[in-house]
Amino acid sequence: MPDTIPADSVGLVTPQVAQFDDPLTLSCGQTLPNYQLVYETYGELNADASNAILICHALSGNHHAAGYHTMEDRKPGWWDSAIGPGKPIDTNTFFVISLNNLGGCNGSTGPTTINPATGKAWGAAFPFVTVEDWVESQARLADRFGIKTFAAIVGGSLGGMQALEWSVRYPDRLKAAAIIASAPKLSTQNIAFNEVARQSIRRDPAFFDGHYLDNESVPENGLGLARMLGHITYLSDDSMGNKFGRQMRHDEYQYNYEIEFEVESYLRYQGEAFSRRFDANTYMLMTKALDYFDPAARERGDLAKVLKQAQCEFLLVSFTTDWRFSPARSEEIVDALIRSGKHVTYTKIDSIEGHDAFLFPIPRYMAALRGFLGRIAKRLPPKETV
Protein backbone atom coordinates (compact mmCIF):
# COMPACT_ATOMS: atom_id res chain seq x y z
CA MET A 1 0.00 0.00 0.00
CA PRO A 2 1.37 3.42 -0.84
CA ASP A 3 1.27 5.89 2.06
CA THR A 4 1.49 8.63 -0.50
CA ILE A 5 1.31 8.26 -4.25
CA PRO A 6 4.82 8.54 -5.75
CA ALA A 7 5.38 11.67 -7.87
CA ASP A 8 6.08 9.59 -10.98
CA SER A 9 2.90 7.54 -10.62
CA VAL A 10 -0.27 8.13 -12.61
CA GLY A 11 -1.96 8.08 -9.18
CA LEU A 12 -5.39 6.71 -8.40
CA VAL A 13 -7.18 5.41 -11.46
CA THR A 14 -10.69 4.11 -12.04
CA PRO A 15 -11.39 1.49 -14.70
CA GLN A 16 -13.97 2.50 -17.30
CA VAL A 17 -16.33 0.35 -19.33
CA ALA A 18 -17.16 0.78 -23.01
CA GLN A 19 -20.28 -0.95 -24.31
CA PHE A 20 -20.34 -2.00 -27.96
CA ASP A 21 -23.59 -2.93 -29.66
CA ASP A 22 -22.27 -3.40 -33.20
CA PRO A 23 -21.89 -7.16 -33.66
CA LEU A 24 -18.30 -8.38 -33.94
CA THR A 25 -17.67 -11.38 -36.15
CA LEU A 26 -14.71 -13.32 -34.85
CA SER A 27 -12.07 -15.31 -36.71
CA CYS A 28 -13.70 -18.54 -35.54
CA GLY A 29 -16.89 -17.61 -37.42
CA GLN A 30 -19.03 -16.83 -34.38
CA THR A 31 -20.47 -13.38 -33.82
CA LEU A 32 -20.63 -11.49 -30.56
CA PRO A 33 -23.86 -9.45 -30.83
CA ASN A 34 -22.56 -7.01 -28.23
CA TYR A 35 -19.72 -6.83 -25.77
CA GLN A 36 -17.98 -4.70 -23.19
CA LEU A 37 -14.37 -3.69 -22.88
CA VAL A 38 -12.96 -2.50 -19.58
CA TYR A 39 -10.06 -0.09 -19.84
CA GLU A 40 -8.03 2.54 -18.05
CA THR A 41 -6.48 5.72 -19.41
CA TYR A 42 -3.56 7.76 -18.16
CA GLY A 43 -2.61 11.26 -19.28
CA GLU A 44 -4.67 13.55 -21.49
CA LEU A 45 -5.71 13.19 -25.10
CA ASN A 46 -4.58 16.23 -27.12
CA ALA A 47 -6.81 18.31 -29.38
CA ASP A 48 -6.18 16.36 -32.59
CA ALA A 49 -6.08 12.98 -30.80
CA SER A 50 -2.57 12.33 -32.05
CA ASN A 51 -0.82 11.52 -28.76
CA ALA A 52 -2.45 8.19 -27.89
CA ILE A 53 -0.51 5.07 -27.01
CA LEU A 54 -2.24 1.72 -26.83
CA ILE A 55 -0.86 -0.85 -24.38
CA CYS A 56 -1.55 -4.46 -25.34
CA HIS A 57 -1.34 -6.98 -22.55
CA ALA A 58 0.16 -10.45 -22.49
CA LEU A 59 -1.31 -13.83 -21.51
CA SER A 60 -2.36 -13.07 -17.96
CA GLY A 61 -2.33 -9.27 -18.06
CA ASN A 62 -5.25 -6.89 -17.86
CA HIS A 63 -6.27 -3.26 -18.19
CA HIS A 64 -4.67 -2.19 -14.91
CA ALA A 65 -1.24 -1.28 -16.25
CA ALA A 66 -0.34 1.66 -14.03
CA GLY A 67 -1.28 3.50 -10.86
CA TYR A 68 -3.45 2.35 -7.97
CA HIS A 69 -7.15 1.65 -7.65
CA THR A 70 -7.23 2.48 -3.95
CA MET A 71 -4.80 3.66 -1.32
CA GLU A 72 -5.03 0.13 0.09
CA ASP A 73 -3.57 -1.53 -3.03
CA ARG A 74 -0.53 -3.60 -2.23
CA LYS A 75 0.98 -3.12 -5.68
CA PRO A 76 0.47 -0.74 -8.61
CA GLY A 77 -0.56 -1.86 -12.13
CA TRP A 78 1.53 -4.48 -13.94
CA TRP A 79 3.63 -2.04 -15.99
CA ASP A 80 3.80 0.85 -13.55
CA SER A 81 7.59 0.90 -13.90
CA ALA A 82 7.25 2.08 -17.51
CA ILE A 83 4.08 4.20 -17.51
CA GLY A 84 3.74 7.51 -15.67
CA PRO A 85 4.79 11.15 -15.64
CA GLY A 86 8.45 11.28 -16.67
CA LYS A 87 8.64 7.52 -17.25
CA PRO A 88 9.51 6.00 -20.65
CA ILE A 89 5.82 5.92 -21.61
CA ASP A 90 5.46 9.48 -20.42
CA THR A 91 1.94 10.46 -19.42
CA ASN A 92 2.95 14.14 -19.45
CA THR A 93 3.17 13.75 -23.21
CA PHE A 94 1.04 10.78 -24.14
CA PHE A 95 -2.51 9.64 -23.57
CA VAL A 96 -2.24 5.97 -22.66
CA ILE A 97 -5.05 3.44 -23.11
CA SER A 98 -4.82 0.00 -21.57
CA LEU A 99 -7.66 -2.48 -21.91
CA ASN A 100 -8.61 -5.97 -20.87
CA ASN A 101 -8.91 -8.01 -24.05
CA LEU A 102 -12.04 -9.83 -25.14
CA GLY A 103 -12.18 -13.23 -23.52
CA GLY A 104 -10.37 -11.91 -20.46
CA CYS A 105 -11.50 -12.30 -16.90
CA ASN A 106 -11.02 -8.81 -15.51
CA GLY A 107 -14.21 -7.14 -16.63
CA SER A 108 -14.26 -7.31 -20.43
CA THR A 109 -16.72 -9.69 -22.01
CA GLY A 110 -15.40 -13.20 -21.55
CA PRO A 111 -16.09 -16.61 -20.04
CA THR A 112 -16.92 -15.16 -16.61
CA THR A 113 -19.41 -12.55 -17.84
CA ILE A 114 -23.09 -13.18 -18.53
CA ASN A 115 -24.11 -14.47 -21.94
CA PRO A 116 -27.24 -12.42 -22.75
CA ALA A 117 -28.68 -15.34 -24.73
CA THR A 118 -28.77 -17.66 -21.72
CA GLY A 119 -28.64 -15.33 -18.76
CA LYS A 120 -25.78 -17.42 -17.39
CA ALA A 121 -22.01 -16.99 -17.46
CA TRP A 122 -20.50 -17.85 -20.85
CA GLY A 123 -18.03 -20.33 -19.38
CA ALA A 124 -16.81 -22.86 -21.93
CA ALA A 125 -19.33 -21.56 -24.47
CA PHE A 126 -17.38 -18.34 -24.99
CA PRO A 127 -16.11 -18.33 -28.57
CA PHE A 128 -12.44 -18.65 -29.44
CA VAL A 129 -10.77 -15.27 -29.87
CA THR A 130 -7.63 -14.45 -31.83
CA VAL A 131 -5.07 -11.67 -31.95
CA GLU A 132 -6.87 -10.41 -35.06
CA ASP A 133 -10.17 -10.21 -33.14
CA TRP A 134 -8.48 -8.27 -30.37
CA VAL A 135 -7.07 -5.76 -32.84
CA GLU A 136 -10.57 -5.29 -34.30
CA SER A 137 -12.07 -4.67 -30.89
CA GLN A 138 -9.20 -2.33 -29.95
CA ALA A 139 -9.75 -0.35 -33.16
CA ARG A 140 -13.39 0.14 -32.19
CA LEU A 141 -12.32 1.33 -28.77
CA ALA A 142 -9.97 3.82 -30.47
CA ASP A 143 -12.90 5.07 -32.57
CA ARG A 144 -14.77 5.89 -29.38
CA PHE A 145 -12.00 8.32 -28.47
CA GLY A 146 -11.81 9.75 -31.98
CA ILE A 147 -8.29 8.35 -32.29
CA LYS A 148 -7.63 7.89 -36.00
CA THR A 149 -3.93 7.19 -35.57
CA PHE A 150 -2.07 5.98 -32.51
CA ALA A 151 1.26 7.64 -31.78
CA ALA A 152 2.40 4.17 -30.79
CA ILE A 153 1.15 0.71 -29.96
CA VAL A 154 3.23 -1.11 -27.39
CA GLY A 155 3.16 -4.69 -26.19
CA GLY A 156 5.29 -7.44 -24.71
CA SER A 157 5.00 -11.15 -25.51
CA LEU A 158 1.41 -11.83 -26.68
CA GLY A 159 0.97 -8.03 -26.49
CA GLY A 160 3.77 -7.66 -29.05
CA MET A 161 1.84 -9.92 -31.40
CA GLN A 162 -1.09 -7.51 -31.19
CA ALA A 163 1.18 -4.56 -32.01
CA LEU A 164 2.57 -6.54 -34.97
CA GLU A 165 -0.93 -7.36 -36.19
CA TRP A 166 -1.96 -3.72 -35.90
CA SER A 167 0.94 -2.70 -38.13
CA VAL A 168 -0.37 -4.76 -41.05
CA ARG A 169 -4.11 -4.74 -40.41
CA TYR A 170 -4.41 -0.97 -39.90
CA PRO A 171 -1.12 0.36 -41.29
CA ASP A 172 -2.34 3.96 -41.34
CA ARG A 173 -3.61 3.89 -37.77
CA LEU A 174 -0.27 3.85 -35.96
CA LYS A 175 2.98 5.81 -36.24
CA ALA A 176 5.05 3.39 -34.25
CA ALA A 177 5.01 -0.15 -32.89
CA ALA A 178 7.13 -1.36 -29.98
CA ILE A 179 7.24 -5.15 -30.04
CA ILE A 180 8.95 -6.53 -26.96
CA ALA A 181 10.03 -10.11 -26.19
CA SER A 182 7.68 -11.38 -28.85
CA ALA A 183 7.61 -13.72 -31.85
CA PRO A 184 5.98 -13.83 -35.29
CA LYS A 185 4.37 -17.16 -34.34
CA LEU A 186 4.79 -19.83 -31.70
CA SER A 187 7.41 -22.50 -32.08
CA THR A 188 6.50 -26.17 -31.79
CA GLN A 189 7.94 -26.15 -28.29
CA ASN A 190 5.81 -23.12 -27.34
CA ILE A 191 2.65 -24.87 -28.55
CA ALA A 192 3.70 -28.01 -26.69
CA PHE A 193 4.03 -26.09 -23.42
CA ASN A 194 0.60 -24.54 -23.99
CA GLU A 195 -0.90 -27.97 -24.59
CA VAL A 196 0.48 -29.32 -21.31
CA ALA A 197 -0.99 -26.27 -19.55
CA ARG A 198 -4.38 -26.89 -21.14
CA GLN A 199 -4.33 -30.59 -20.39
CA SER A 200 -3.56 -29.96 -16.75
CA ILE A 201 -6.65 -27.75 -16.59
CA ARG A 202 -8.91 -30.06 -18.58
CA ARG A 203 -7.93 -33.12 -16.58
CA ASP A 204 -8.81 -31.46 -13.31
CA PRO A 205 -12.15 -33.09 -12.26
CA ALA A 206 -13.22 -29.66 -11.00
CA PHE A 207 -13.07 -28.30 -14.56
CA PHE A 208 -16.30 -29.99 -15.70
CA ASP A 209 -15.41 -29.48 -19.37
CA GLY A 210 -15.26 -25.77 -18.71
CA HIS A 211 -18.68 -25.60 -17.01
CA TYR A 212 -17.24 -25.29 -13.53
CA LEU A 213 -19.13 -22.06 -12.78
CA ASP A 214 -22.46 -23.87 -13.25
CA ASN A 215 -21.16 -26.57 -10.94
CA GLU A 216 -19.96 -24.06 -8.36
CA SER A 217 -16.51 -25.43 -8.69
CA VAL A 218 -13.06 -23.98 -9.48
CA PRO A 219 -10.35 -26.05 -11.20
CA GLU A 220 -7.70 -24.66 -8.89
CA ASN A 221 -5.38 -27.61 -9.17
CA GLY A 222 -5.34 -27.67 -12.94
CA LEU A 223 -4.99 -23.92 -13.34
CA GLY A 224 -2.34 -23.81 -10.62
CA LEU A 225 -0.37 -26.55 -12.33
CA ALA A 226 -0.64 -24.76 -15.68
CA ARG A 227 0.70 -21.62 -14.07
CA MET A 228 3.56 -23.46 -12.36
CA LEU A 229 4.66 -24.83 -15.70
CA GLY A 230 4.21 -21.45 -17.39
CA HIS A 231 6.07 -19.70 -14.64
CA ILE A 232 9.14 -21.89 -15.11
CA THR A 233 9.23 -20.97 -18.77
CA TYR A 234 9.03 -17.25 -17.97
CA LEU A 235 12.14 -17.37 -15.80
CA SER A 236 15.68 -18.26 -16.68
CA ASP A 237 17.70 -21.06 -15.14
CA ASP A 238 20.05 -18.43 -13.69
CA SER A 239 17.31 -16.28 -12.19
CA MET A 240 15.73 -19.28 -10.45
CA GLY A 241 19.17 -20.45 -9.38
CA ASN A 242 20.04 -17.06 -7.92
CA LYS A 243 16.74 -16.80 -6.11
CA PHE A 244 16.52 -20.30 -4.66
CA GLY A 245 19.51 -22.42 -5.54
CA ARG A 246 19.04 -25.68 -3.65
CA GLN A 247 17.82 -23.92 -0.51
CA MET A 248 16.01 -26.37 1.74
CA ARG A 249 13.21 -26.11 4.26
CA HIS A 250 14.94 -28.50 6.66
CA ASP A 251 18.56 -29.28 7.40
CA GLU A 252 18.17 -32.87 6.25
CA TYR A 253 16.27 -34.68 3.52
CA GLN A 254 12.83 -35.72 4.70
CA TYR A 255 12.28 -38.50 2.16
CA ASN A 256 8.69 -37.43 1.47
CA TYR A 257 6.75 -35.34 -1.07
CA GLU A 258 6.15 -32.31 1.09
CA ILE A 259 8.01 -29.12 0.34
CA GLU A 260 11.72 -29.68 0.77
CA PHE A 261 13.29 -27.26 -1.69
CA GLU A 262 12.32 -23.60 -1.50
CA VAL A 263 11.67 -23.48 -5.24
CA GLU A 264 8.86 -25.99 -4.70
CA SER A 265 7.23 -23.71 -2.19
CA TYR A 266 7.60 -20.73 -4.50
CA LEU A 267 6.02 -22.52 -7.45
CA ARG A 268 3.13 -23.84 -5.38
CA TYR A 269 2.50 -20.35 -4.06
CA GLN A 270 2.58 -18.90 -7.59
CA GLY A 271 0.16 -21.57 -8.81
CA GLU A 272 -2.26 -21.10 -5.93
CA ALA A 273 -2.25 -17.31 -6.05
CA PHE A 274 -2.83 -17.38 -9.78
CA SER A 275 -5.68 -19.88 -9.64
CA ARG A 276 -7.45 -17.58 -7.19
CA ARG A 277 -7.20 -14.50 -9.38
CA PHE A 278 -7.53 -15.92 -12.90
CA ASP A 279 -10.17 -17.82 -14.80
CA ALA A 280 -9.34 -21.24 -16.26
CA ASN A 281 -11.43 -20.78 -19.41
CA THR A 282 -9.74 -17.47 -20.09
CA TYR A 283 -6.35 -19.12 -19.65
CA MET A 284 -7.33 -21.78 -22.17
CA LEU A 285 -8.54 -19.15 -24.66
CA MET A 286 -5.39 -17.03 -24.30
CA THR A 287 -3.11 -19.99 -24.94
CA LYS A 288 -5.10 -20.83 -28.07
CA ALA A 289 -4.87 -17.22 -29.28
CA LEU A 290 -1.10 -17.56 -28.95
CA ASP A 291 -1.08 -20.87 -30.85
CA TYR A 292 -3.21 -19.55 -33.71
CA PHE A 293 -1.22 -16.36 -34.36
CA ASP A 294 0.77 -16.68 -37.58
CA PRO A 295 0.46 -13.65 -39.88
CA ALA A 296 3.05 -15.02 -42.31
CA ALA A 297 0.64 -17.86 -43.16
CA ARG A 298 -1.36 -15.30 -45.16
CA GLU A 299 1.53 -15.19 -47.63
CA ARG A 300 2.64 -18.82 -47.51
CA GLY A 301 5.08 -18.21 -44.70
CA ASP A 302 6.61 -15.07 -46.18
CA LEU A 303 6.54 -12.63 -43.26
CA ALA A 304 8.38 -9.93 -45.20
CA LYS A 305 5.61 -9.93 -47.79
CA VAL A 306 2.96 -9.52 -45.09
CA LEU A 307 4.93 -6.69 -43.50
CA LYS A 308 5.21 -4.82 -46.82
CA GLN A 309 1.93 -3.11 -45.93
CA ALA A 310 3.24 -1.72 -42.66
CA GLN A 311 3.93 2.02 -42.56
CA CYS A 312 4.97 2.61 -38.96
CA GLU A 313 8.40 2.68 -37.37
CA PHE A 314 9.28 -0.40 -35.38
CA LEU A 315 11.20 -1.00 -32.19
CA LEU A 316 12.00 -4.61 -31.43
CA VAL A 317 13.44 -5.60 -28.06
CA SER A 318 14.57 -9.03 -26.91
CA PHE A 319 16.26 -10.31 -23.77
CA THR A 320 19.30 -12.55 -23.72
CA THR A 321 18.00 -15.11 -21.21
CA ASP A 322 14.47 -15.30 -22.63
CA TRP A 323 14.02 -18.86 -23.88
CA ARG A 324 10.24 -18.74 -24.15
CA PHE A 325 10.48 -16.08 -26.88
CA SER A 326 14.21 -16.04 -27.49
CA PRO A 327 16.10 -13.21 -29.23
CA ALA A 328 16.16 -15.35 -32.38
CA ARG A 329 12.35 -15.10 -32.52
CA SER A 330 12.44 -11.30 -32.38
CA GLU A 331 15.16 -11.38 -35.01
CA GLU A 332 12.81 -13.25 -37.35
CA ILE A 333 10.57 -10.19 -37.24
CA VAL A 334 13.56 -7.84 -37.58
CA ASP A 335 14.90 -9.70 -40.62
CA ALA A 336 11.49 -9.68 -42.29
CA LEU A 337 11.24 -5.94 -41.66
CA ILE A 338 14.69 -5.40 -43.19
CA ARG A 339 13.64 -7.44 -46.21
CA SER A 340 10.57 -5.32 -46.64
CA GLY A 341 12.63 -2.15 -46.23
CA LYS A 342 10.93 -0.88 -43.07
CA HIS A 343 12.23 1.53 -40.47
CA VAL A 344 13.25 -0.84 -37.68
CA THR A 345 15.43 -0.58 -34.62
CA TYR A 346 16.41 -3.66 -32.70
CA THR A 347 18.11 -4.08 -29.38
CA LYS A 348 18.96 -7.23 -27.44
CA ILE A 349 19.08 -6.48 -23.73
CA ASP A 350 21.37 -8.33 -21.35
CA SER A 351 19.18 -9.53 -18.53
CA ILE A 352 18.90 -12.41 -16.14
CA GLU A 353 15.11 -12.45 -15.76
CA GLY A 354 14.22 -14.64 -18.76
CA HIS A 355 10.95 -13.88 -20.58
CA ASP A 356 9.69 -11.92 -17.56
CA ALA A 357 12.42 -9.33 -18.21
CA PHE A 358 9.96 -7.34 -20.31
CA LEU A 359 8.14 -6.41 -17.10
CA PHE A 360 11.30 -5.20 -15.32
CA PRO A 361 12.65 -1.64 -15.49
CA ILE A 362 16.06 -2.70 -16.85
CA PRO A 363 17.91 0.59 -17.48
CA ARG A 364 19.03 -0.12 -21.06
CA TYR A 365 15.59 -1.41 -22.00
CA MET A 366 13.85 1.59 -20.45
CA ALA A 367 16.29 3.95 -22.19
CA ALA A 368 15.52 2.33 -25.56
CA LEU A 369 11.78 2.65 -25.03
CA ARG A 370 12.19 6.23 -23.82
CA GLY A 371 14.41 7.15 -26.77
CA PHE A 372 12.07 5.55 -29.30
CA LEU A 373 8.91 7.15 -27.92
CA GLY A 374 10.75 10.44 -27.36
CA ARG A 375 11.30 10.65 -31.14
CA ILE A 376 7.59 10.06 -31.70
CA ALA A 377 6.74 12.74 -29.09
CA LYS A 378 8.85 15.32 -30.95
CA ARG A 379 6.60 15.01 -33.98
CA LEU A 380 3.42 15.73 -32.01
CA PRO A 381 1.89 19.18 -32.36
CA PRO A 382 3.15 21.53 -29.64
CA LYS A 383 1.21 21.39 -26.40
CA GLU A 384 -1.29 24.20 -25.98
CA THR A 385 -0.32 26.43 -23.12
CA VAL A 386 -3.24 27.84 -21.23
- Using CA atoms, how far residue 29 sits from 37, 127, 165, 212, 283, in Å, is 20, 9, 19, 25, 21
- C-beta closer to another protein: residue 211 or 348: 348
Cα distance between residue 124 and residue 289, in whole Å: 15
User: Which residue in the set 144, 298, 364, 383 belongs to the binding site for another protein (CB under 8 A)?
Assistant: 364
Q: Which of these segments, 43-51, 78-86, 258-266, 339-347, binds another protein (CB under 8 A)? A: 339-347
Task: Compose the 184-213 pattern: x for residues touching another protein by CB under 8 A, - for all others.
Answer: ------------------------------
- Say which amino acid occupies 37: L
Q: How many CA atoms lie within 13 A of 107 on its CB side?
A: 17
* Binding-residue pattern over the window 277 to 316 for another protein, x denoting contact by CB under 8 A: ------------------------------------x-x-
Does the protein bind another protein through residue 182 (CB under 8 A)? no
Check whether 324 is labelled as a binding-site residue: no
Q: Is 322 a catalytic residue?
A: yes
Rounded Cα distance between 219 and 274, Å, is 12
- Number of residues counted as binding another protein (CB under 8 A): 21
Which residues have a Cβ under 8 Å from the Cβ of 324 and sit 6 or more positions away? 157, 190, 193, 233, 234, 354, 355
Cβ 336 to another protein shortest distance, Å: 10
Residues 141-180, one symbol each (x = binds another protein by CB under 8 A, - = not), give ----------------------------------------
Catalytic, out of 80, 90, 204, 322: 322
Residues belonging to the chain = 386
What are the beta bridge partners of residue 313?
A: 176
Q: Is 308 helix (H, G, I), strand (E, B) or coil?
A: coil
**Using CA atoms, how far apart are residues 136 and 24, in angstroms rounded to an integer?**
8
Its sign, for the CA torsion 259, 194, 282, 132, is: positive
Question: Do the annotations mark residue 227 as ligand-binding?
Answer: yes
Active site residue 57: no
The verdict on 333 binding another protein (CB under 8 A) reads no
Asked if residue 344 binds another protein (CB under 8 A), the reply is yes
Annotated active-site residue in 50, 60, 157, 182: 157
> In angstroms, rounded to a whole number, what is the distance separating the alpha carbons of residues 183 and 177?
14
By CB under 8 A, which span of 135-143, 246-254, 256-264, 367-375 interacts with another protein? 367-375
**Active-site annotation, residues:** 157, 322, 355
**Could you tell me which residues are annotated as the binding site for substrate?**
227, 356
